[in-house]
Structure 1
Amino acid sequence: MALIHEFAIIEKDSSINFIENGMDKIDVSDNLILYMEDSLRWIETCCNSMQTTKKGLNYYGYTIIKDENIIKFKSIVTCWKNLFDEAPLEFMLTGNFLPDENTYEKNLYNKQEVIHQLNDLEIMCNKAQAENGYILHNGI
């Protein structure tokens, strides 16, 4: 099974830090998140406690995206979506370095699936802003 990152909206005063079955969530491919990782470090987040702030998403734990950083997150997601909209129906992106093979992995993507995931994230950002909520991210 492929690794995924999950995103959901939570209320500002919520103590929820894990996305559970039944919650309205969006799944995004781990390889896609890793590809976008550098630009995701441009958002300030709270990780594994509301008092600990960092840049980007917590890969293994949970992350909370709050307030104006939701706007920045949406902007980054929108830019990636617009870029991938120019891709062919199937495309390859470079992944992690594989030291045993002394090469980088090549990951195959379906344009429609990538656009769908990123579009859903955009919609989630809009909804979180409208509901005055936060976005919860669960890493792999």
Structure 2
Amino acid sequence: MPLIHDFYLVPKDVTLKNDIIGYMDSIIEFGVAHVKIQDELILYMNDTISWVPSKRTPFTKGFNEMGLDYYGITIFDENSTTILKDVLLGWRMIFASAPKVLILTGMYVEGDHEEDGEYEKITFNQDEVLQQLDALIALIVEVEKHSHKIYHIGI
């Protein structure tokens, strides 16, 4: 089962609980829309996602408020979604020009011997990638219209 990053659109007037489990449960409960993005795709785009300002939760430590908190919760509001949308639209344009079967370079995997290592080749369906990006861009449009927030829950 692939690792997934979850993005929830949460209305601006929602009050989230003040313990970490309740906080996460509140995001899921009050989320009016939900988008799932595969981890390998996030990792592929991560250098550019790290350009996006973001916010930490009250429970986050050691997160520099840029990009995604890979394992934790990240908040995107109207101050960060413009850059996030620009980055995603750029990736969407690139992937729309790609073949129907996308083969992307993944992480470096070491072999039994140092010289045996190689980069993973990860296969995606172009339509699925575009659907995921379009869905996340649609959440961003809602943030721009209504000042809602997007909460990312990492792997």
Report the TM-score, using the length of structure 2 for normalisation: 0.82
Larger Rg: 2
Amino acid corresponding to residue 25 of structure 1 in structure 2: H
User: Match of 1:77, SS?
Assistant: helix
The 8 Å contact of residues 7 and 26 in structure 1, kept in 2 or not, is answered as yes
> Given residue 9 of structure 1, which amino acid in structure 2 is its aligned partner?
L
Q: Distance in 1 between matches of 2:108 and 2:124?
A: 18
2:149 & 2:30 partners in 1: Cα distance? 18
User: Which ranges of structure 1 fall in alignment gaps of 5 or more residues?
Assistant: none
Bigger fraction of residues in helix: 2
53, 56, 68: which one pairs with 2:67? 56
Does the alignment pair 1:15 with 2:16? yes
- The alpha-carbon distance between structure 1 residues 131 and 53, as it changes in their structure 2 partners (threshold 3 A), is farther
Paired with 2:144 and 2:30, the residues of 1 have a C-alpha distance of 22
Q: Which amino acid aligns with 2:83?
A: K
Q: Secondary structure at the match of 2:54?
A: strand
Is the Cα–Cα contact under 8 Å of residues 42 and 55 in structure 1 kept in the other structure? Answer: yes
The CA RMSD measured in Å over matched residues stands at 2.1
TM-superposition CA deviations, 1:85-136 (whole Å, max 9, x none): 0000102000111123511111001000000000111111001111211110
In structure 2, how many angstroms separate the alpha carbons of the residues matched to 1:82 and 1:135? 22
Inter-partner Cα distance in structure 2 for 1:74 and 1:138: 18
Q: Is the 8 A contact 1:44 1:53 kept in 2?
A: no
Residue 134 of structure 1 is matched in structure 2 by 149
Are residues 10 and 22 of structure 1, via their aligned partners in 2, closer, same or farther at CA, if it must alter by over 3 Å?
closer
Q: Runs of 4+ in structure 1 displaced over 2 angstroms?
A: 11-24, 47-53
Q: Distance in 2 between the 1:75 and 1:119 partners?
A: 12
What percent identity do the matched residue pairs reach?
31
The number of residues matched between the two structures is 140
Aligned counterparts, 1:1-140, within 5 A: 1-12=1-12, 14-15=15-16, 17-18=23-24, 19-20=27-28, 23=31, 24-49=33-58, 53-100=64-111, 101-140=116-155
